[in-house]
Amino acid sequence: MTGQPPAAPGGWALRPQTNACRTAHDLSGVWSFRLDPGDEGGERGWWRGIPDAVPAAVPGSWNEQVPGARDELGPAWYERRFEMPPMGGQQVAIRFGSAVYAARAWLNGQPLGEHEGGHLPFALPCSAALATGENVLVVRVDGRLGRDRVPPGLVPPVHTHGRVFHPDVPFDFFPFAGIHRRVELVATPRHGVSDLRLQTVLDGGAATLDAAVQAGDGEVTLALDGEPITCPHRVERAQLWHPDSPRLHRLDVELRRGGALADRYTLRAGLRTVAVDADRLLLNGEPVELRGFGRHEDFPVLGRGAVPALAARDLLLMRELGANSLRTAHYPCDEETLDIADRLGLLVIAETPAVGLYFADADIPRAAEDLARRQELALRFAAELIARDRNRACVIAWSVANEPRMDYPGAAAALRELCDAARGIDGTRPVGYATDLPGSPGLEAADLIFLNAYPGWYTCPANLGAAEAALGEQLDRLHGQHGKPIVITEFGADAIAGTHAEPPSLWSEEYQAELIERLIRVARRRPFVAGAHVWAFADFATAQATHRPQSINFKGVFTRERQPKLAARRIQALWRGQRAGTVHDIFTSRPQC
Ligand code: GCB
């Protein structure tokens, strides 16, 4: 074992689990809910319990769930009553997988704490407030937008390509609010295992696994697939984790005090490396081509509420199409989605919630303070994301922002700080940010280029030949300038399912399918293009805008209900033609663990 990792922010780095030493008690279900647009609940003492509430599901966004709440961003109040399960005198916390955007919680009227930032977990210690009988948990969730938040809202249109949405967001997805992921009552041993960091190094056919464990006093032991090991541990003829054979190992960490078991933590670990070598992206030392999608967490009624069935369906469909990769645009995805990606061998670009960053507010009061706060939050959220996901085999790169306004002074320095910070925390994965402005300064700070480009849609619309030429020229230029691998993290076209046109024209399924196929071929002719992610996997809800009919972004290859458009079949033929591999093969060809 080499070294103790520094403590993770919030102390929640280890995801809850239930075993002989730990308990994770799921509080998901039907909670009580009440909007508070006048922000009066605090004064009225709702933290003790909320009057006149309606039932609402957690996880779930309130916007499409509660009638009349669609455009309400809060604050809103949630209440959950529960009997205390046996917790055996351990330290207890309530762990939220994600509350968008800011949350404050009380247990039996006592304040537990608060957290800012959606799509990332936080744990609030609650041992002192827990009652042996019935407990009343109250959570105030504030999804309102602001220039001092990340992602920001209420941004002057000069920073939003002139696009105006209602609600007023500078990004192209609906600002769903609520408790979006699982809430758990978590009991862990005092002075137990508090963090764990894995790293793999390859040497010929062997892999060396290193593990840094942070734990209280006592003797720490490790076992890999049931066999005791000491780290660094060399595995001869290692079965590496790879999209074709996503082999996961079971790693058990045990802490003993005076011979007695004091704590245990179990992780599924894959042995694999990721690196950038000149203009190539390498997985296990070999160049890899990312074939996949950007994916939003979005579904009717659920909003952004996490439902593992949806994640399983989406990721299985991706494999069915021959994809091996996805980007969690534009925020960290649910942890159960990563469980599925780990098992299916999907290579994940994990993105922070820093979408819509901008770097100037000429004539607005508090502009400098807001800008400094956005950067502080972007740094904090990157650290929280890495602390959560750093042991994931499936996560192969960090994206520290989506489409920051790089055409403003100060942007390049801010992005350098974000990239350097991410690399400083985790030196085992490449770091970048998705950009639509690759001509502006900033890309020097990235290990690889994540390019968002819409030839054939926002530029040279309806002109397929011009789109191919434009993408080819842009890729060659960027390669010439930077000599780094390029992943096209977004490209595509809106298609309204059922709209057909021959010859292909804008908004038709034929045009979308044809454009995607042609642009994938352009990318594939260039070995320095490490992959292409179609935007998007499925249609998704946006705020209202004149350029978003039905408040939907129709660039999905599937509809919002997950029915395929023509492009799905075309992509499947293209990607599966290269490497035949079906979901069935994945389940039958690899060792189960
Ligand atoms: C982009 C954004 C993405 C949008 C997409 C579009 O560049 O990164 O959030 O949804 O374009 O469809 O306009």
List of residues 6+ apart from 248 with CB closer than 8 A? 241, 268, 269, 270, 342, 343, 393, 593
pLDDT over 50 at 10, yes or no? no
Tokens at 135, concatenated: 């407990």
Query: In the structure encoding, which two tokens stand for residue 136, read together?
Result: 């009343």
- Looking at the predicted structure, is the pLDDT value of residue 4 above 80? no
Distance CA 121, CA 127 (A): 19
Known catalytic membership, residue 254: no
Ligand 1 centroid to Cα of residue 350, in Å, is 17
Closest residue (by CA) to atom 13 of ligand 1?
A: 172
| pLDDT grade for 591, boundaries at 50, 70 and 90 | very low
Contact in structure between 79 and 136 (CB atoms under 8 Å): yes
- Helix H segments across 348-450? 367-389, 411-425
- Comparing 283-297, 486-500, 576-590, the range with the smallest average pLDDT is 576-590
Question: Ligand 1 within 6 A of 555 CB?
Answer: yes
Query: Which tops the pLDDT comparison, 160 or 392?
Result: 392
β-partners of residue 283 are 274, 286
Report which protein residue has its CA nearest ligand 1's atom 7: 452
Q: At what angle do helices 566-578 and 509-524 cross, to 10 degrees?
A: 20
Q: Say how many Å lie between the CA of residue 466 and the centre of ligand 1.
A: 20
How many Å apart are CA 453 and CA 434, to the nearest integer? Answer: 10
Q: Tell me the CA–centroid distance for residue 567 and ligand 1, in Å.
A: 18
Say whether pLDDT at 139 is over 90. yes
Residue nearest to ligand 1 atom 6, measured at CA: 172
Cβ pair 81, 136 in contact under 8 A: yes
What is the predicted pLDDT for the residue at 366? 86
User: Which one has a higher pLDDT value, 2 or 482?
Assistant: 482
- Structure-token pair, residue 526: 């260039």
Residue-averaged pLDDT of the chain: 94
Clarify whether 490 is annotated catalytic: yes
Kindly state the average pLDDT of the residues 172-178.
98
Rounded mean pLDDT of 98-120?
98
The reported pLDDT for the residue numbered 361 is: 67
Active-site residue, selected from the candidate residues 289, 490, 510, 514 = 490
d(CA 8, CA 383): 8
Is the C-beta atom of 279 inside 6 A of ligand 1? no
Please provide residue 368's backbone torsions phi and psi, each rounded to the nearest 5 degrees.
Answer: -65, -40
pLDDT tier for residue 578 given thresholds of 50, 70 and 90:
low
Its sign, for the CA torsion 145, 377, 119, 216, is negative
Taking CA atoms, 42 is separated from 53, 308, 418, in Å, by: 15, 34, 36
CA 553 to ligand 1: nearest atom: 12
Is residue 80 within 8 Å of 32, Cβ to Cβ?
A: yes
First to last CA, the chain: 24
Q: How confident is the model at residue 12 (pLDDT cuts 50, 70, 90)?
A: low
Q: Write down the catalytic residue from 79, 336, 403, 509.
A: 403
**How much is the pTM?**
0.96
- The pLDDT value recorded for residue 362 is 66
Q: Is 490 in the pocket of ligand 1 (CB under 6 A)?
A: yes
Q: Would you say the CB of residue 426 lies under 6 angstroms from ligand 1?
A: no
Q: Answer yes or no: is the C-beta of 351 below 6 A from any ligand 1 atom.
A: no
